């Protein structure tokens, strides 16, 4: 099979979101509509230039400016979507998915939900068989998150947002037949959730917390130390982009210096008895 015959052509349709990128890498997100048009200082492009065309097409504005048209990725969407609360950036979202080991079918609790940036990545990772229950204090943020999620992922996601304070507990209705697999926190005092997480997670389950300052991390680690959680780790992700143009290949002058620290720990049941060495394993060679 040739590469070309494997290509699934999916031309742009009305109602779809498109990202336009100009020669200076400025990005504009638009939603295609019959009769619509996109305008900047660099001129106008009627949506009819896009509708029915393939992703990746290069367009010319009325003033001759060149714009590339692609469908936005999750990361593009997060950086452009309407926000209430500060979002977690793509730089940290990828590592969160791995550190918290979010897998297809996982049952998750997320608090707080904010604008729903992290929710979208979590939903994609748990898939249709999984579920994400979000706790959020503010009704306006919850509404925004639901809207953003539906707008990017479509309706009927296994996603529910409840207006409640996770510091007051995790409703047992969220872990009726066993327990939650993962709890992901982006809020100021995650140590106040540790006790509730101990009751809600299954053994081996993972608690992950995103925190902007190291004092908060220290407080959380202290709380985890005095709890059934173990195997705790804390890290930060530094992302340095590079300028690559002809012979000029070097790190970019600017980078995002700091976003937050990631801390993850696993629930280990302290009441589990220690397993003695099995028959045939003598203390001498039990490596």
Positions in the binding site for ligand SAH (CB under 6 A): 85-88, 111-112, 114-118, 135-138, 141, 165-167, 186-187
Q: Where are the alpha helices (DSSP H) in 139-243?
A: 139-153, 194-200, 214-225
Residue 7 has, within 13 A of its CA and on its CB side, a CA count of 8
**Of 42 and 108, CB closest to ligand SAH:** 108
Q: Please give the C-alpha separations between residue 15 and each of 50, 80, 116, 140, 263, in angstroms, as whole numbers.
A: 12, 17, 22, 25, 40
**Of 117 and 201, CB closest to ligand SAH:** 117
Q: What is the DSSP string of 74-100?
A: HHHHHHHS--SSPPPPHHHHHHHHHHT
State in angstroms the smallest separation of the CB of 122 from ligand SAH.
10
**Of 53 and 138, CB closest to ligand SAH:** 138
State in angstroms the smallest separation of the CB of 20 from ligand SAH.
24
State in angstroms the smallest separation of the CB of 116 from ligand SAH.
5
State in angstroms the smallest separation of the CB of 226 from ligand SAH.
21
**Of 32 and 97, CB closest to ligand SAH:** 97
**Of 23 and 86, CB closest to ligand SAH:** 86
What tokens were used for 127? 């898939």
Q: Please give the C-alpha separations between residue 14 and each of 17, 19, 64, 66, in angstroms, as whole numbers.
A: 9, 14, 24, 22
Which residue's CB atom is positioned nearest to ligand SAH? 112
**β pairing state of 159-163 and 131-136:** parallel
State in angstroms the smallest separation of the CB of 73 from ligand SAH.
16
């Amino acid at each position: 099979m040739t590469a070309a015959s494997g290509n699934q052509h999916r031309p742009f349709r009305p109602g779809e979101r498109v990202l336009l990128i100009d020669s200076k890498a400025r990005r504009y997100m638009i939603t295609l509509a019959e009769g619509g048009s996109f305008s900047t200082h660099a001129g106008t492009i009627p949506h009819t230039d896009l509708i029915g065309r393939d992703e990746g097409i290069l367009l010319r504005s009325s003033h001759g400016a060149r714009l590339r048209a692609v469908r936005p990725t999750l990361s593009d969407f997060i950086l452009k979507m309407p926000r209430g609360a500060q979002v977690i950036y793509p730089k940290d979202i990828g590592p969160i998915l791995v550190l918290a080991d979010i897998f297809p079918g996982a049952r998750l609790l997320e608090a707080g939900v904010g604008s729903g940036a992290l929710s979208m990545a979590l939903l994609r990772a748990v898939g249709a068989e999984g579920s994400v229950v979000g706790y959020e204090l503010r009704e306006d943020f919850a509404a925004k998150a639901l809207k953003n999620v539906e707008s990017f992922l479509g309706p009927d996601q296994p996603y529910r947002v409840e207006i409640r304070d996770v510091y007051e507990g995790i409703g047992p209705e969220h872990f009726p037949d066993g327990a939650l697999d993962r709890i992901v926190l982006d809020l100021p005092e995650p140590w106040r959730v540790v006790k509730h997480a101990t009751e809600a997670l299954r053994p081996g389950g993972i608690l992950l917390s995103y925190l902007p300052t190291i004092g908060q991390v220290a407080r959380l680690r202290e709380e985890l130390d005095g709890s059934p959680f173990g195997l705790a780790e804390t890290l930060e992700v530094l992302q340095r982009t590079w300028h690559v143009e002809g012979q000029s290949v070097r790190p970019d002058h600017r980078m995002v210096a700091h976003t937050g620290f990631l801390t993850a720990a696993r629930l280990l049941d302290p009441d589990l008895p220690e397993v003695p060495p099995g028959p045939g394993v003598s203390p001498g060679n039990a490596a």
